[in-house]
Every structure is written in structure tokens, then in C-alpha cells.
Amino acid sequence: MKRIVQQSVVSAFVIGLVVWIASLLVPFSYIDWSFFIGLGLSVIFFLFNSSGGPTSKGVNYAAALSVFQRQEEEELKTDVGGVFFGSVLYTLVSFITMIFVYF
């Protein structure tokens, strides 16, 4: 558990540092886009660390139509780790910062 917390904090810091450096190189405001970048990264990390779900059902349906056989459905399973939790932590912190700055 301690390892996952450490990975989460380190990955949130690294994501924040990368987005901040990108905001210096490309003209966009860090505060304006940090929440949306964190949200997008969280969704991407979740999708790439999961199996089953709607995407697999669609692929299985197409395969079943092509060979005229019934395919077994898989339940949604996720294997998220410290990087996913770090991106969620970064998203939450950036959301709270954005609310604090604009309201």
C-alpha cells in the first residue's frame, strides 16, 4: 500500500511537471488546461489498463457475426496501479486549484 501511495504522489508530481514545462514551450495557460489534461490522462490510463467492457463487447459481436458463433462476454476488469491513481490525484488537485483561482 505504501508503494502505491509513493508511486501515486511521484507520478502526480511528474505529470504536473511535464504539463508545466509544456505550458512554457507551447503558449497555453497551465491553470486553464491542467484539469482537462489530467482528466484525459486518467481516462486513457483507465482504458489501457482494463479488459472487457463495451469495447470488447463490440469486437466480440463483430467476430460473432463473421463466423456465425456466439462469443462469451467478458466483464469489465481493471488493473490500475500507482500511475493511474497519480493521474487521478493530479486531476483532483488541479480541479481544486482551478476552482480556487476562478471563484
Report pLDDT for 40.
97
Report pLDDT for 66.
67
What is 17-56 written as a DSSP string? HHHHHHHHHTT--HHHHHHHHHHHHHHHHHHHTEESHHHH
The model's pLDDT over 56-76, given as tens digits with 9 standing for 90+, comes to 667 666 666 666 666 666 677
Report pLDDT for 15.
97
Give the residues of the chain that fall short of pLDDT 70. Answer: 52, 54-57, 59-74
Nearest to 98 by CA among 45, 41, 90: 90
Amino acid in position 24: L
